[in-house]
Amino acid sequence: MKTRLCLALWLVSTAAAADWPGLPPDETVRRMFDERPETRAAASELAVGSAQRERLLAGPYEWTLRLGGQQRRSAPPEAERQRFGEWNSALERPFRLPGKAGLDGELGDATLARARSAYGDNQHEARRQLLVDWFAWRAETAAWRQALAARDSFARQLAIVERRLALGDASRLELTLAQAAHAQSEAQAQLLGAEAARQREQLARRYPGLPLVDDEALPVPQALPGDDEKWVATLVDRSHELALAQGERRIAELGAARQRAERLPDPALGVAFSRERGGEEQVLGAFISIPLPGGARRAGERAAAASADAANQRLLAVRREVELAAVNQLRRARAALLAWEAAELAARRQGAAADMAQRAYRLGEGSLSDLLLARRQAGEAAQQAVRLQADALHQAYRVRLDAEQLWADEAPAETAG
């Protein structure tokens, strides 16, 4: 309990300091998800869990009314034959033994809890996908802008070569090289622009109402605060997949206990009334019926026990995979930040090298081929840097999303009653 409390306090303190740069506003995301048909479908599934809980609390038994009629013919010796109209009725109902009713109540609560976990998992996976789609669009848009900048640079260089050719200071070969480099940069910009447009269209159609601003620069990624051990513990504690497996085990354990309780069958109590011999005789009685247990009940008990054991083993396997996924996700976030920092440094140095090649070409100390190669390498390095920048942001926000610091969502209370 202390561990969970400490984790909660730590999450609140870290979330309070975050403003989530580079992402759409939290309220916009929450409203957009509330209006999606997938969310409404998941809420309906939650309502199913609530109804199942009510069914278990009510129990499977109902009152049964039986009515019957008959004709009695009497032919006593040395007496007149007689005919009588007769009818009978009975009202009966099986009753759960006290221990079974309590188990059904617990099973209903566990069923609703699992439905809530399933709703949360559905919403969490949808938000994960939004992060993937969002940063795919941001990465392609940023890379496209770098390609546009490279294209403009090659266009300026082509203009310089054309002027120098007109002055007799450049050769036809240099003009051809500059034209080829410009055409290649134009093709690259067109390809990246088409991909950025495709990603934007996908976002707009998949997430209606989400603001898509193309001219915002990617924010600088920041290192995740705190140590890895706390993050891993938090990711495991907040795992929806683990919560689902725990819910399945709880239901299986209660199902096994409920099946064991069926060793003693539920009795049925009833009252009966009959009117015989045309009303000369009226009979009122009560009865009890008890099923005699057989092999089917024993087999059902063994099957329920095996199912509970299987659910427990699945929970252990899921916990192991969740812990591994948490460690790997945190490592990916740390590594993505380091990769972006290295790529950013490489892009700056490659850009500086291209500027040096430009000055050397102007002074006649370098060739156009060297300059064009340096510019091409600088453009590629810049594109790689912004892609890794988007990935670093994505991986860090994925950790925060899994820790329920980002876009946290609760099951709708009105469907849980």
d(CA 403, CA 226): 13
What integer best gives the mean pLDDT of the chain? 87
Find the helix or strand (DSSP H, E) in which 282 lies. strand 281-289
pLDDT band at 61, cuts 50/70/90? confident
User: Where are the domains positioned within the chain?
Assistant: 37-61+113-265+320-415
For residue 16, pLDDT over 50 is answered with no
Q: What's residue 416's pLDDT?
A: 38
pLDDT reported for residue 414: 43
- Structure confidence at residue 5 (pLDDT): 43
CA distance 300 to 315: 22
Q: Comparing C-alpha atoms, which of 97, 38, 394, 86 is closest to residue 258?
A: 97
The tens digit of pLDDT for each residue in 183-237 reads 999 999 999 999 999 999 999 999 988 888 777 789 999 999 988 999 999 999 9
Q: What percent of the chain has pLDDT over 90?
A: 52
As a whole-number percent, the residues of the chain with pLDDT over 70 amount to: 93
The β-bridge relationship of strands 64-74 and 268-276 is unpaired
- Most confident range, picked from 9-18, 70-79, 211-220: 211-220
Q: Are 223 and 231 in contact, with CB atoms under 8 Å apart?
A: no
Q: What is the pTM of this model?
A: 0.82
As assigned by CATH, the class of the 37-61+113-265+320-415 domain is mainly alpha
Query: What single string gives the DSSP state of each residue in 138-170?
Result: HHHHHHHHHHHHHHHHHHHHHHHHHHHHHTT-S
Buried-state track 306-345, b at ≥16 Cβ within 10 A, e below 16: ebbeebeeebeebbeebbebbeebbebbbebbebbbebbe
Q: Which amino acid is at 67?
A: L
Q: State how far the Cα of 185 lies from the Cα of 196, in Å rounded to an integer.
A: 16
Contact 189, 151 (CB under 8 A): yes
Q: Residue 17: pLDDT above 60?
A: no
- Rounded Cα–Cα distance for residues 288 and 278 (Å): 27
pLDDT of 282 reads 86
Q: What is the mean pLDDT of residues 137-162?
A: 94
- DSSP bridge pairs for 93: 269
64 contacts 93 by C-beta, under 8 angstroms: yes
3-state helix, strand, coil in the chain (%, to 5): 70, 10, 20
Q: Determine whether 241 is exposed, middle or buried from the number of CB atoms within 10 Å of its CB (0-12, 13-18, 19+).
A: middle
Is residue 10's pLDDT more than 90? no
Structure tokens that stand for 163 in this block: 């002027």
